[in-house]
Structure formats: structure tokens, C-alpha cells
A and B are shown apart, each in its own frame.
Chain A
Amino acid sequence: MFAKWRTGLRILGGVIMAGGVLLLIADLNLTGGGISYTPQALGALWHQWDAPSLNLLQAITERYVLPQLWSYVLLPLLLSPAWLVFFGFGAGLIALSLLRKMKVKLEERSC
């Protein structure tokens, strides 16, 4: 059961990381003199995709959850390069799946 979850988590993490790599490639522009890098913020990407849902998330977070959650957690994330957030999140999921595996191994050794 846990093994299936770990595998699922790793696949999901890998897909999200791959998405991050694709976004990074999209941020790179080939110019005459070389490559330029113009990162697109996660918020800008979301806004292009579906502005009302981003607006709604802000309203719900600030009004019904915690204004500071928006100011100090979500807004900095939204202002970060989208590729970095995707890559980091994907890597985090993979790390989480490995941590669980390591924990199980450690428990087996201690028996």
C-alpha cells in the first residue's frame, strides 16, 4: 500500500519537475548574441491561464483564512519564477517519497 503511494508520489513529482524544466526552457530566448533568460512569475502565468480563480484564491485566503498567509507565503511564491516553483515542488514530492522509504529501512534495521 505504502509502496504504491510512494511510487505515485515519485511519478507526480517527476511530472511536475518536468513541467518546471519545460517552463524554464520557455523562459530562455535565443538571441543573436546568445541566450537570454526572462523568467515568468507563477502569478503572471496563473493570471494568463485563469485570472478569476487567482483573484478568488486571494480573496478567500485574505478574508477567510489568514491575510499573513497571502502576504508572506503565497504572494512570494506567486512572485517567484514559475519554473522554480514547479521544479521545487516536484523535487519536494520526490524527496518526501524517499524519506518515507528511508524511514521504513531504518525501522527494519533497528528490529
Chain B
Amino acid sequence: MLIKIKRSWEISENKVTPEHIFTNRRKFMQGAIGVAVLAGAGIGGGIVGGAGAAVPSLDPTADLYPAKANPAYGPLDRAITAEELSSTYNNFYEFASHKQIWEAAQALPTRPWEVRIDGLARNPQTLDIDALIRKMPLEERIYRHRCVERWSMVAPWTGFPLAEILKLADPEPEARYVRMETFQKPEVAEGQKQFWYPWPYVEALTIEEAQNDLAFLVTGAYGKPLGKQFGAPLRLALPWKYGFKSIKSIVRFTLTDKRPVSFWEQLNADEYGFWANVNPEVAHPRWSQAVEEILGVRGTVPTVIYNGYGEQVAGLYKNMNGQNLFM
């Protein structure tokens, strides 16, 4: 007898976005934005997007989406993961550690939202998120995303290079790292009630990594403002590193000369280190990283070093002997 165990991210065929809508999503979104405008005027109302999309219809930057696609980060050899899958299978540890946290994440108030830039910066400042987004050159990039838990997806992110934040900050010469911090709101994020964890979530990069063109700050996905479960209103996308490095819902960038200790490094440095570059040859202490499961695709595919972005980033790690680059 064949016993089929449904995996948690599987959805039934009738929930899959029809191809004609998916391939024409720009046009579809333009229509959806029109609906949002009507909703804002008191006609109709509610939410724009599909099942898990849950994007507030009144996002102040909704008019900026969809942004122009950057052909340098265009279609990959893998199909874009259906939004219904990627937006309902998320890690957002501030809310919980299970995958169905997209509903809980909707409780996060993302406006007003301020982003602070400080530390070893000649131009420290605090910016309103909408002013920041409008100031930046938004573009769409299609990135692979590889989770340390061995699943992966392909997402069309909209945003701007992290290097733009560094330009705004104007780093002092001694600045060597960028420390990023997320919100602290235990009243809406149940995970943060566990006060023994080192909240808020912190991640960090070297200045060189942050200046790499691949390091991308995300403000939108699938041609519209970023859903809360993806880390609205501002998250990082580092496609050559394991997903936990791509911090969500950022409120602060601090330039520093000392290597920050990240949230996961503080909790369990043997499993989640500072560098966390994707490498199929280096196993996680409890499982192999040689293959991955792409959301919505049956079976596994081989994982590639630096998640396939070696050409762009391998040079960052030359001559770094003694560093645990892949953990």
C-alpha cells in the first residue's frame, strides 16, 4: 500500500496560481494596485494579493511596484517559486519556529517605521522607511534562497543594494563590519517573549561583503510591497549565504570595527556561525548540506557552493585561512 505523507509546504493543485496570471503578474499587479486605490477611497477594501500574500492595501510605497527588472539577475535555471508557497512557508523566529507563521507575522505594525544608521559613520541618521525607499533606486532581482534547513526557493525580490546604505552612512576608515538589528516587540512577536534569548535578532557582515553587489536590501517581492512574513518593510537578501543571515524587518545599521556576535552565533555557534556561506561539502552537525529540496518541486537537487554565486563572491574569502567560512 502506498502511503503518501503530505509535506507541510505542499498545496493542492487547485491553489496553484494559473500560469497566465503568474507569467503576466506585472499586468496583474497593476490591476491589483488599482483595486488597492479604490479600497483606499473606501470602495471595497481589504487586502491585495493571494492566500498568503496579505499585503496591506495602503502601503505608502505601493506605487513603486513592480520595479524594473535588472537583467543581470534575471531568470535562473530554476522556476520562480509560486508566491502561495513561499509566502506561507517562512522562518521568522521572532514569531515562532514553525513554518506556518505567516498569519502571526501580520500582527507586526510596519508603519510608522524608522531605520537608524549609526556607529562609525560620518553621516549617522534616522530615516523614515518610506522616505528611504523613495530615495533608493529600486529594481527587481531574481535570487535563489537556500535555507540552512536544506530547503530552497527562488524569489523575485525588489529592493536596492546594501551598498547604498553604506553610501548614506559614509563609513569612517576604521569601520570593518555592518551590524544589523531587527525590531523588539514582544507584545506582537510571541518568540520575543522568551526573554532568555538574545533579542533583538542581530546579523552582521564585513564591509566588503556588504559592498558586494549581490547584498540586496529587499522592500518588495513578487512585484509588490514586501509581505510581513517576508520581513517587511526592509529585509536583507544574501543569496550566497544560508537564509538565517538574511535578517528581516531591519531597524538599525551600525558600522563597527569589532566583529558583532549574531543572534544565532550567540545561541549555537557550532551550528550557525558568522560566515554561513553555502557549501555542499560542509555538513551541518545534524544533517548533510549536499542536496536541497526546492519548495514545490519533488525530490532533491544538488546544492552548489556559494549557492551558485561563487563567481561574484568567492573572491571575498581568498586567503581567509582558519575561518569557518561555511558554518
Chain A residues within CB distance 8 Å of chain B: 41, 43-44, 46-48, 51-52, 55, 58-59, 62-63, 67, 70-71, 75, 78-79
Which parts of B93-118 form the interface with A (CB within 8 Å)?
96-100
Q: Does B321 contact A (CB under 8 A)?
A: no
Q: A41-B196, A43-B194 are in contact. Are A51 and B267 (CB under 8 A)?
A: yes
* 22 A-B contact pairs sorted by A residue (CB < 8 Å): A44-B196, A47-B197, A48-B196, A51-B268, A52-B267, A52-B268, A52-B270, A55-B268, A59-B97, A62-B97, A62-B98, A63-B8, A63-B98, A63-B99, A67-B96, A70-B96, A71-B96, A71-B190, A75-B193, A78-B194, A79-B193, A79-B194
Q: Does B271 contact A (CB under 8 A)?
A: yes
Which parts of B67-115 form the interface with A (CB within 8 Å)?
96-100
Kindly list chain A residues whose C-beta atoms are within 8 Å of the C-beta of B287.
none
Q: CB-defined interface of B188-202 with A at 8 Å, one 1/0 digit per residue?
A: 001001111100000
Q: A51-B267, A52-B267, A52-B268 are in contact. Are A67 and B98 (CB under 8 A)?
A: yes
Q: A44-B196, A47-B197 are in contact. Are A62 and B96 (CB under 8 A)?
A: yes
Kindly list chain A residues whose C-beta atoms are within 8 Å of the C-beta of B268.
51-52, 55
A23 → B minimal CB distance (Å):
16
Q: Is the CB of A75 within 8 A of B194?
A: yes
Docked Cα-Cα span, A75 to B99, in Å, equals 18
Task: Give the 10 A-B CB pairs with smallest separation, nearest first.
Answer: A62-B98, A47-B196, A44-B196, A52-B268, A67-B98, A59-B97, A62-B97, A63-B98, A43-B196, A58-B97
Kindly list chain A residues whose C-beta atoms are within 8 Å of the C-beta of B96.
62, 67, 70-71
Docked Cα-Cα span, A55 to B194, in Å, equals 11
Kindly list chain B residues whose C-beta atoms are within 8 Å of the C-beta of A43.
194, 196
A44, closest chain B residue (CB)? B196
B270, closest chain A residue (CB)? A52
A107 → B minimal CB distance (Å):
44
Docked Cα-Cα span, A70 to B267, in Å, equals 19
Number of residue pairs spanning A and B whose beta carbons lie under 8 angstroms apart? 40
Docked Cα-Cα span, A63 to B8, in Å, equals 9
Q: Is the CB of B195 within 8 A of A44?
A: yes
Kindly list chain B residues whose C-beta atoms are within 8 Å of the C-beta of A78.
194
Docked Cα-Cα span, A58 to B98, in Å, equals 9
Q: Is the CB of A67 within 8 A of B267?
A: no
Q: A58-B97, A78-B194 are in contact. List 19 more A-B contacts (CB 8 A).
A: A41-B195, A44-B195, A44-B196, A47-B197, A48-B196, A52-B270, A55-B267, A55-B268, A59-B97, A63-B8, A63-B97, A63-B99, A67-B100, A71-B96, A71-B190, A75-B190, A75-B193, A79-B193, A79-B194
B264, closest chain A residue (CB)? A55
Q: Interface size for chain B: under 10, 10 to 19, 20 to 34, or 35 or more residues?
A: 10 to 19
Docked Cα-Cα span, A58 to B190, in Å, equals 13
Kindly list chain B residues whose C-beta atoms are within 8 Å of the C-beta of A63.
8, 97-99
B91 → A minimal CB distance (Å):
11
Docked Cα-Cα span, A71 to B194, in Å, equals 11
Kindly list chain A residues whose C-beta atoms are within 8 Å of the C-beta of B99.
63
Q: Is the CB of A52 within 8 A of B271?
A: yes
Kindly list chain A residues whose C-beta atoms are within 8 Å of the C-beta of B8.
63
Docked Cα-Cα span, A65 to B97, in Å, equals 12
B285, closest chain A residue (CB)? A52
Docked Cα-Cα span, A44 to B197, in Å, equals 8
Kindly list chain B residues whose C-beta atoms are within 8 Å of the C-beta of A58.
97
Which parts of B19-78 form the interface with A (CB within 8 Å)?
none
A88 → B minimal CB distance (Å):
20
A42, closest chain B residue (CB)? B196
B263 → A minimal CB distance (Å):
11
A63, closest chain B residue (CB)? B98
Q: Chain B CB within 10 Å — which of A46, A51, A78 has the most? A: A51
Q: CB-defined interface of B1-20 with A at 8 Å, one 1/0 digit per residue?
A: 00000001000000000000
Kindly list chain A residues whose C-beta atoms are within 8 Å of the C-beta of B97.
55, 58-59, 62-63
Kindly list chain B residues whose C-beta atoms are within 8 Å of the C-beta of A51.
267-268
